Amino acid sequence: MRGIHATEDDMGAPGGEGLPRRGVSSARPGPSVVDAVEAVLQDHLDERLEEARKTDGVFAEEVAGRVRDIALRGGKRLRAQFLWWGWRACGGPAEGVETENVLRVAAALELIQTCAVIHDDVMDRSPTRRGARAVHEDFAQQHSAAGMSGCPASFGTAGAVLAGDLALAWADDLLTATALASRQGARLQREWRAMRSEMVAGQYLDIRAAATGSTALDQAVRIACLKSALYTVERPLALGAALAEATDRTTDVLRSAGRSAGIAFQLRDDLLGVFGDPGRTGKPADDDLRDKKLTYLRAVALRLADESGAAAAAAALRAPGPTLTDAQVRVARAALESTGARRVVEARISRLVHLSERRLAALPGEPAAIAALGSLIRTAAGPASSHEEDAP
């Protein structure tokens, strides 16, 4: 049972102010940080949309406009907030000219996330995102409504791939322009390059595991680490540390805290992917079960079912893919409860969050900023989180 009860380090962990223009609070994470990032993001998107209009009107309206719309229809901007509080926890000031670069990198993170969710929905065939039609479904609807020739679904997939590519290009443009204006530009670029590769690697391992039928716990942890621990938490925190010119030792502490918090975030997202309310999460609740996603939750449930001889639960969790009936989905969901897997994952989340918070104590930033980072971690991994951030 070591695979289930491994230590948190085995889960992937490595050894009243305000901006004059943006009004970012330094006392706690929340709307003021989000509002400041939103303003920078909207400015950048408006500029890119105007450039797109000069290129071609149809492209601007149907592709660039869709990218702008979904980017501005984001949720809690968790990656942006982790970057901001990583900056503050490493001693970065809450106001001054340097903070503009922090907000621009945060906006770039939101654009790469836009790329991720657009492409993720294509791969998962998800019909909705953030309470509206997914981008590929929106393109397909446009095709049908206009009476175009060919297959609406194929048109939708192609349009969404291009829209995601455009979001990634805009993210890279913004990050590169910011890096060129920063003393820590080379360091920012290194973190950014690593994050992009890790994001793609995690996504590929995810679809590969589903295709091969893998149920290995270590593989589930690896996917969780790449898809969320690094991309959602650790790299944004490290980008904040780079902008704050933090020492290697301080950055390592922040990475360690972020790795634990990021895995906790993904484990919570796995739970919400099965037990969450679609009205709050903005996406279907049964996709992970229907697609046989190799989540830590499912891997633990299968291990427990096999070891306890719960043949019916194991069979329900191994039943073949997208053709599952609603009744079979309900049985599979019940198996996650009856095997005790849900309790195991809830307990692991609590331990990972506690471990992350302990590591924050070694950071040099203002106590209020470190406390705000701890609060953000608890919110991201907590049961009350709606996870509107769409971990891809």
Do 159 and 62 contact (CB within 8 A), yes or no?
yes
**What does the pLDDT read at residue 102?**
96
Domain boundaries in the chain?
16-381
The angle at the Cα of 77, spanning 76 to 82, to the nearest 5 degrees, equals 115
pTM exceeds cut of 0.75: yes
Tens of pLDDT along the chain (392 residues)?
444 544 444 454 444 333 334 446 544 555 689 999 999 999 999 999 999 999 999 999 999 999 999 999 977 899 999 999 999 999 999 988 889 999 999 999 999 999 999 999 999 888 888 778 999 999 999 999 999 999 999 999 999 999 999 999 999 999 999 999 999 999 999 999 999 999 999 999 999 998 898 999 999 999 999 988 999 999 999 999 999 999 999 999 999 999 999 999 999 999 998 998 776 765 566 777 887 889 999 999 999 999 999 999 999 998 876 677 888 889 999 999 999 999 999 999 999 999 999 999 889 889 999 999 999 999 999 874 444 445 55
- Look up the CATH number of domain 16-381: 1.10.600.10
**What does the pLDDT read at residue 196?**
97
**What does the pLDDT read at residue 283?**
58
**What does the pLDDT read at residue 14?**
44
How far are the Cα atoms of 34, 58, 98, 369 from residue 245, in angstroms, in the given order?
23, 43, 11, 17
**What does the pLDDT read at residue 229?**
93
